[in-house]
A = this chain, B = another copy of it.
């Protein structure tokens, strides 16, 4: 079964919303897709006819097994391209999502296979998100937000939850990236902000909003 770029974007978004919130609704999908609920309903009928979603009017919807496989293959392409853009072309990590949003729709199995090989079959994208392998399998890593770490504890950055260009750009300027080792110096109860130290850099303060989004392993 072949899908239009628009269908693929819907499929990917349904997958993400299911993963993050456990469920999707017409409204939440409309918000995520920056479109109207009526348009979502139209698309759901189309995706149902293509066996991508289970859907009964007024009763909700979810990806079928085959729809999930499709979603994973799109996510795979998206993240492989992001990896390419950052690690081969030297893009900053906050500029690649938008471009990968287009590249992910290029239709060519051989391209995905060769790109994967060329990149060395990476398991994580530049934002620390797992890249599904050719079978759709994901590597999982136990990780906690740095905001939950205690003073004197050290964590290694594994991923960033909120991936807006704004927060990624901020982290770039703090010198924080995937793999950075962060030591918690102290926490300020008043606003939840945290003082952080990176080796060979002066300590600095992260707001709670930012710290919540930096996921680390101990």
Contacts and interface: CB of A to CB of B under 8 A. Distances in A.
Contact of A89 (B91, B102, B103, B114): B114
The oligomer's copy count stands at 2
A110 B88 contact: no
A36 interface: no
A85 B118 CA distance: 11
A138 interface: no
Nearest to A105: B102
Contacts of A46: none
A115 interface: yes
Contacts of A98: 108
A90 interface: yes
B106 A89 contact: no
A84 to B, nearest CB: 10
Contacts of A106: 99, 102-103
A95 B115 CA distance: 15
A23 to B, nearest CB: 33
Contact of A110 (B91, B102, B115): B91
Given A89-B118, A102-B105, 13 more contacts: A85-B111, A89-B111, A89-B114, A89-B115, A90-B114, A90-B118, A91-B110, A91-B114, A95-B110, A99-B108, A102-B108, A103-B103, A103-B106
Shortest 9 CB-CB contacts between residues of A and residues of B: A89-B114, A102-B106, A99-B108, A89-B118, A99-B111, A103-B106, A90-B114, A88-B118, A89-B115
